[in-house]
Amino acid sequence: MPLYHRLGKIPSKRHTIFKKADGSLHHEQLFGTIGFDGMSSLMYHLHRPTMVKEVGITEALSPKAVVSHNIKSRLLKGFQVQPEEDYLESRKIVLFNSDVNVALAAPTKSMTSYFYKNADADELLFVHKGSGTLKTLLGEIPFEYGDYLLIPRGMIYQIDFDSVDNRLLVTESFSPIYTPKRYRNWFGQHLEHSPFCERDFKLPQNLQTHDEQGEFMMKVKKQGQLHHLVYASHPFDVVGWDGYNFPYGFSIHNFEPITGRVHQPPPVHQTFETNTFVVCSFVPRLYDYHPEAIPAPYNHSNIDSDEVLYYVEGDFMSRKNIDKGYISLHPAGIPHGPHPGTYEASIGKSKTEELAVMIDTFKPLQLTQAAMDIDDGKYYQSWL
């Protein structure tokens, strides 16, 4: 998302002297992507951001496949994932491939004893239940039900929850996550036909600068391992920054649906893209308005991608026996479509109140034990 933002105090020129009140220098850091070719931000620290006091234990986090070659359509009952206190321990990867991890989480406590950095992947958090504040070294983003939180790889953060009842859909992408290119002009501005625009984004605010030294636990995910490092200064010691590489939020409720006289294909719901998968938002919308339109989606074959649909709330017109937090997986290689009776029943209906998040991957997904523990086991037969 090429959008310029700045917070705090910065010098008038990059890479020049920027003194503190006592005459000593601030410590400049470039926070960039794709070498020096991608989006970046320049931040200014009170202390060196490189002061590692100790490197501690390492934990293995790479998911393990129970089903590596899946041909079954599956239904995972997401709210059966049990709540856990710790934010990272609560994240249960259910689906994955070499490009993306899809996890469910139900953390009950805020992150207060450590800071976290994912050096492997951009993270896209979807907030199904709960509210709070995403705290980062570049500022804070309040969040609530229905928000996407996009956290670039390498961003140090904590999450402060307002209550114990939280449910998150977590997508870890090993390639950068952007808004769709077709929504933007060649300058990077969102076009008039885009279903959202820059004013819909929740940008970092309330930059909190901590001038503290001591011992600060940093958990860093790198190469599928969680490393425990102790830093000598508080990670949130930035006095100012500017640039294009920063976390932001976007509410699914601000996605303006694209409709037509006849049924529109899934790309009209696209919200984010990478070079390996896309994310779509299904929101309340008017149905197709051709006098003989069939609002329910036609049967279609996933030849090139696995389709993951996370059901949030509302009336899921083409599916039966669906509840909040369910995940349907329709694998590449076999067709899928509306459940029996829903195709005909959709005729004449004027609108839907459904709310859902879809992830379409271009490589097959594997299932973990956490997924099998919440699989209903019979969804693939539900079209009989």
DSSP label of 349: -
| Residues 21-54 pLDDT 10s | 999 999 999 999 888 888 999 999 999 999 999 9
| Residues 75-111 pLDDT 10s | 999 999 999 999 999 999 999 999 999 999 999 999 9
pTM of whole model > 0.85?
yes
CA distance 356 to 41: 33
Q: For residue 240, what pLDDT is reported?
A: 98
User: What are residue 360's DSSP bridge partners?
Assistant: 278, 307
Homologous superfamily of domain range 258-381? Jelly Rolls (2.60.120.10)
CA distance 106 to 165: 7
Backbone torsions φ then ψ of 73, nearest 5 degrees? -75, 135
Q: For residue 210, what pLDDT is reported?
A: 97
Shared fold status for 20-61+82-251 and 258-381:
yes
What would the two tokens of residue 102 be?
Answer: 């899809």
Where the chain has pLDDT below 50, the residues are none
Neighbours of 125 (CB within 10 A): 23
List the chain domain ranges. 20-61+82-251, 258-381
Q: For residue 1, what pLDDT is reported?
A: 64
Which CATH number describes the domain made up of 20-61+82-251?
2.60.120.10
Which of 165, 131, 162, 164 minimizes the C-alpha distance to 146? Answer: 131
Burial 362-380 (b: 16+ CB within 10 A, else e): beebbbbebbeebbeeebb
Q: For residue 302, what pLDDT is reported?
A: 76
Neighbours of 168 (CB within 10 A): 20
